[in-house]
Homo-oligomer: A and B are copies of this chain.
Amino acid sequence: MPEPRGRDTVVGPFARAYRLSELVDRLGGDLRGSGEVLIRQVAPLESAGPEEIAYLGSAAYQRVLSTTRAAALIVGSAAAVVAGRPCVVVPNPHAYFVRVAWLLNPQHPAQPGIHPMASVDPLAQIAHSAEISAFVTVNEGARIGERVRISSGCCIGAHVVIGSDSQLHANVTVYDRCVIGMRAVMNAGCVIGADGFGGALDDNRWLKMPHLGRVVIGDDVEVGANTTIDRGVMVDTVIEDGVKLDNQIQIGHNVRIGAHTTIAGCVGIAGSARIGAHCIIGGAAMVAGHLHLADRVQISGGTLVMNSIETPGRYTGVYPASEHRAWLRGALAVRRLGESTSGRKRPAKRRPAKTDGTS
């Protein structure tokens, strides 16, 4: 197979090395030791090399300190300064490390212009500084802001608005009339504004409701690869500023997600749920429809939320994994908890047995 690398040593075309003192001049912090040391890249403490900077995230990493070859360290307090090693003391070493990483690894700027193999409606408005790649479709009335980058295969619906400095990776679809704020990052394959699952049962058949609302996405939002966000039925689906959505998330119609909430991969938020600000929702969690989660609620991965939560805190509901035969016994006991008082017999066919989920 191709050779993976323990750590990527490619230095991008825009990268240059900085003296440690230069980093501190730009990003702040309290320099201890020599500022002359040259920094080319960020790296984890345990694998950092002689021209790399690392950070000391927690006491657990203390044991690595004696062996690290890092050129410099970012630490959280004067007490953590390592003798004989250049250090920068800052209140939040991890956040500082991320800022250094961006300085050393700047993004490609937009290459202004519309590719000759793009399809742009004459009634669309594209900023001169925007980059429209090959095989991009921009439909009538769409407005694309300054320095926006739209990669190959994206389809921008009619009357869509995309704020300045946003980036759409390849094969993103934005349905008609949706709105994306500034500095958004939309990863490949995400779908913004498809119709949700709304309608009425009529004579046992599903009669679909037209979706008249939009998706409105705030500033500084990131949407993961293949994530889907449905448009509202008669109101807008709203993703507020600073929300981070990981990959393969499904957001139903009419949902509102509060500012700076982060949601990990594979999560589903059913229609009309309202999620507060600064919430953290773990991977593969699910929130049922029409619920309300207060600000600063944390949902553990894999948890199904079936009722509103009005008190901040952490909530969990996951069946613990066991060796298979122990689980079989436990699952039967759990089922009996519900059936012992019911007067119904347990149907023999529904004993837990096959669980591989494969065919």
Question: In the bound complex, do residue A339 and residue B322 qualify as a contact, i.e. CB atoms below 8 Å apart?
Answer: yes
Question: In the bound complex, do residue B242 and residue A266 qualify as a contact, i.e. CB atoms below 8 Å apart?
Answer: no
Question: In the bound complex, do residue B152 and residue A119 qualify as a contact, i.e. CB atoms below 8 Å apart?
Answer: yes
- A117's partner among B107, B117, B202, B238 (CB-CB below 8 A) is B117
The oligomer's copy count stands at 3
Chain A stretch 68-103: residues in CB contact (< 8 A) with chain B: 92, 94-95, 97-99, 101-102
Measured between alpha carbons, how far is A97 from B199 in the docked complex, in Å? Answer: 10
Question: In the bound complex, do residue A356 and residue B92 qualify as a contact, i.e. CB atoms below 8 Å apart?
Answer: no
How many A residues touch B, CB cutoff 8 Å? 171
By a CB distance below 8 angstroms, the chain B residues around A349 are 307-308, 310
Chain A stretch 128-147: residues in CB contact (< 8 A) with chain B: 133-135, 137
Chain A stretch 199-248: residues in CB contact (< 8 A) with chain B: 199-202, 204-210, 212-214, 216-219, 222, 224-226, 228, 230, 232, 234-236, 238, 240-242, 244, 246-248
- A266's partner among B137, B250, B314, B324 (CB-CB below 8 A) is B250
Q: Closest approach, in angstroms, between the C-beta of A76 and any C-beta of chain B?
A: 12
Q: Is A276 an interface residue (CB 8 A)?
A: no
Question: In the bound complex, do residue A270 and residue B234 qualify as a contact, i.e. CB atoms below 8 Å apart?
Answer: no
Q: Which 3 A-B pairs rank lowest in CB-CB distance, beginning with the nearest?
A: A301-B357, A271-B359, A330-B338
